[in-house]
Amino acid sequence: MPFFPRPENYPEVCNFLLLDTTNDTFNLPLATNMLTFTFAYLAYGMQENDVVKQNSFTYLFFLILLGLDTLWNYSNSCYNAIPLAVSGILGMAAGFIWGGILKSSKSTHLLYFSALGRNDVCSRPSKQTFKCEVYKNGKKIATKLSK
């Protein structure tokens, strides 16, 4: 008995991201799983290093991608809500677990958003004044100050 059987009117367009198109035993949307895994893995690193605000576009980007993926799956009758939700939950759990494994094994340098060192933060230089002197044939012909 299949865990997540394909719908009766399963269109061929839904097969392009399946690993095994002949087996109907465990049919979950791979794209949803990969997107939620990647999102959770990145979110874990951002939360651990308190850089969520600086990377809010990443959250927005993945939410839009997940929304579009869900819309595409519904509009093409590829999956209903249950396989999409299960695939999303499994991907999220795997992403957070993988982030936790990297942190607990002291391999935080492998997290995409690792902690920044003191020298890694950019700052605006203080205002400076530059003096430029232009010479032609050994004689100064112009002087310019710039701020």
Indicate the pairing of strand 130-136 with strand 139-146.
antiparallel
Q: Which range has the top average pLDDT, 4-8, 49-53, 137-141?
A: 137-141
Q: Are 91 and 29 in contact (CB under 8 A)?
A: no
| Residues 107-136, mean pLDDT to the nearest whole number | 71
pLDDT recorded at residue 16: 67
pLDDT recorded at residue 36: 96
- What CA–CA distance (Å, rounded) separates 137 from 139? 6
Instruction: Give 67-73's long-range contacts (Cβ < 8 A, gap of 24+).
Output: 69/29, 69/31, 69/32, 69/35, 70/32, 73/14, 73/29, 73/32
| Residues 128-140, mean pLDDT to the nearest whole number | 87
Q: Which two tokens stand for residue 126?
A: 């203080």
| Residues 75-86, mean pLDDT to the nearest whole number | 87
- What CA–CA distance (Å, rounded) separates 53 from 8? 44
